[in-house]
Chain A
Amino acid sequence: MTAAATLPPALPGLDPAWSRLVRVHDAVLGREVVHHVLDTEGALVAAGAEPVGTILAVHGNPTWSYLWRALADESIERARAGAPAWRVVAVDQLEMGWSERTDAVRRVADRVRDLGALTEALGLEGPVVALGHDWGGVIVSGWALEHPDLLAGLVLTNTAVDGHAALPAALKAALAASSVGTEHTTAFLDTTLAIAHPRLDPAVRRAFRSPYRGAARRQGIREFVADIPSTDAHPSREAVDRIAAGLAALAAPALLLWGPRDPVFQERYLHDLMRRLPHAAVHRFEGAGHLLPEDADVAGAVLDWVVAPTPARSAPGAVVPAVETRAMWAELDARADDDAPALVELHGDDTRTISWRLLARRVHELAAGLHAIGVQRGDRVSLLVPPGADLTAALYACLRIGAVVVVADAGLGVQGLTRAVKGARPSWIIGIPTALAAARSLGWPGTRIAPTGLSRLARAALGVEHTLPELARLGSGRALPPEPAPETLAAVLFTSGSTGPAKGVRYTHARLAGVRDALVAQYGIDRGTGLVAGFAPFALLGPTLGCRTAVPDMDVTRPATLTAAGLARAVAAIDADAVFLSPAALTNVLATDPDPAEFDGVRLLLTVGAPVAAPLLDRAQEVLRNASLRTPYGMTETLLVADVTREAIHEAGEGDGVCVGPPTARAQVRIAPLDDDGRPGAATTTDADVTGEIQVHAPHMLAGYDRLWRTDAAAKAGTPHEEWHRTGDVGHLDAQGRLWVEGRLPHVVTTADGVVTPVGVELAAQRAGASRAAAVGVGPRGTQQLVVIVEGQAGPLADPALAAAVRLEVDRPVAAVLAVPELPTDIRHNAKIDRARMARWATGVLEGGPVTTP
């Protein structure tokens, strides 16, 4: 069937002024055909804005330019607000959307040519950022390769150019159904529209369907599916392969935006694109799926990027300035002949001691073994092994050969871990059987390696291909590959995810070594130190610090399982003088009848991972009589920002927040003051008593977030030469230069009388008698009411006496004092209260709704 191009009817979110019909000479038919396109040029000119460039947006199958309506709208909004104006040209491909139905079969190569003819007809001049979704990504990539003079950048979302990979099941189904699925019924269309997260508004779904009413109008959908090169003999195979090869040489800046919940374009296609475009910025929108522009803020991401694109592909041989760094494994090399204990693991009554000589040899063998089975520099290796000798050896082996370790601890929960592992997409997983079983059943990627020998049956069941003992044998006597450079990626560490999905944090070798050097500088840990590491991340640093390390008997995912006896055994085993614990572990140690005499050798107790209350430290001091009790403040992104002693906490006294002490020797701290709306501005200060977002600059800070380009850009302050990390924490510096932490930025309460930060209020509630409390805001920003939720009562209203006491102690108006039996906290630390959840709960309760469990 043929049909003329028409303008679309009135549809939600679509401004009729954007629509235009464009006549183009068609090479397939040898005559003029008509395209429908959305073009914001008129709207921009009307708004008095001069376009600085064009975003050429190409939809896939079976959508149409409607997919880009938010981009069109946002681009105009931003231009009106004074940002550089980017014109959006979103095409309806021929046979699709409201463009002409010509009855011709159009293959990839034809469609690339169609697009070129269209941009020529439009007279597009550079710069052009090419943007494509689904198979539109292939078409626009083809166009980009043919227009290098116009091209300023390439943005691809949920697409694929790797025609040789096995076709996704969902597409196979569409192919098998052929015309039944794609033309005569609307199944393909319906399925595509049904997988949006959250579900599409019915009016939007109708709008997507509107140009595809009647089988004849859907012919293009069928032909498009049929053009997927499913076999080597397929007529479009060569064209797609040429585009795929072209991308591997594309120099222009590139951005890959991805919805991981896509049954068609799964993550492996993202990784294929990342291999071809290693310079591309990547952002995975956790929770979003195939219809990414519907599920996530693609418009905002694209418009942010076009005004400040990430670097183009660097020329081969570009020199990265070398950083003077002592390698993480240098201490192991230096002590390869030392028989003193390096690691001691305690399990019940068992003690396993590993000397420096053994550890160094083990690391060397594993490194060589991993290299021998094909672990390449830059390969990602997920480590799902509890802290201990196996994890430590595997970690240093990976670092030595330049593999990137991915560390996500089990405290994230299975769901969080799955998200983390799938997001980081390791090529290899070293994991204990439970982790490997999860890897198998949940479809985690990566070749599986078990830390210990397994029965043949278990091995088959878990899909294990290697074990660490085998790798050590394999690596024995083999030479190691050259050492990785300090500025290359060494590790991806996951945050606890207490404020949204866990984020991967990137550390280079230099910055990881910086963490070690910061610990040495701040705490004087050296070869003479015996360290009990009851907090997993620090257990891993022992060998590079050069100190002997003991891992006490505990379930690391549940710190409260560490007992006084367990800690005493670990201290005795290595004659420890330093102990690192989480507050939850320390609490349990103090609650399980500790004998102070057993801890008299301990000179340093570091409580890490979560805020510590002074009373807990006071009780700890009664047990650890000779120890300096210190608490560093930091986060996965910068582990050591500030540090405070118990005495200094008392000296600081009460204040608005928790005093975390002065910045550590190597860290700089500054404050970005909050405005009345609770948002930090661009200005920063180190003046006393100004509340704002805490920013950090340190040699041991993160190198960036992993595959979260937008998050990364938003968390950066300062200049490219001196980058500062926006911590997302709120606090102030005092006149003595000490830092006080007042809460998390999104938890700041914005009342009509100014901003209120939660921690000071929560501490006041505790002084009033609450065991724990959450301070949250309810109501619209700027006119929120402060609400305190105390723990340990049935609720929803707190006992009147406690409510009155809380009001008295908190020095600002409290609208309501609510109560719950238990406040929700993060799994990893059992300490960070989920204030966002409590705010939602309090809002419902105070609205007069039913009283639910938070």
Chain B
Amino acid sequence: MKIDPIHQFNIEPLFTLGHIGNHTIAFTNSSLYMLVAVAIITLLMLASGSQLVPGRLQSVAEISYEFVASTIRSTAGAEGMKFFPLIFSLFMFICVSNLVGIIPYTFTVSSHLIVTVGLALLVFFTVLIYGVAKNGLKFFSIFVPHGVPGYILPLVMFIEILSFFLRPVSHSIRLFANMLAGHIALKVFAGFVAMLGFSLGAVGWVGGVLPLALTVALYALEILVAFLQAYVFAILTCIYLNDAIHPGH
């Protein structure tokens, strides 16, 4: 039995939508899982009723709402609530697609760098455009920290500007690498179990216990990571937006 931990990341075109230049635009398995995530979020938020005493599904919807709202309020202040729909969409999209992606034989949308880069650039340009539109040139004062001695200021400004433009890189690679590595590790350990069981018989069955236990533990960890990375992505978005809203800090 051959272990191929990379196969799960393959993009399979399901049907072609059209062409842009010389690129073929296809509806792929990735598109399908994006659609699944959007459908799940829509169902969760809209089909869960709005009773005075919430049921289970409605509780989940309301807890997500309150969770994202309190995250924004604590990191970007009350003004950050302008971006509530954006951050809620980002958080729910990443969280749901990650959780769906953990189910065996499914595809994880955020295990592709281009997707996380797309989302990170969306955040980056939102921050940049809103920051300049709201504060004008004062927005660029985020590159000039207070209380830094003059002779060291050029260096600090250089580092600040560099880190600002590297934000989308770290923002996207963090999510992508976490999902990718977690899924590869899961696949490798689960593959060991199968390989030992098929090739070594009874000895392999005993030997497979350890990788199986590791797979179970990793699986639990991956569920945590799936949620945590969505949270990290959302909270970093809030922190970046806070710069655009309050550039003086």
A and B together in one complex: no
- Chain A interface (Cβ within 8 Å of chain B)? none
- Chain B interface (Cβ within 8 Å of chain A)? none
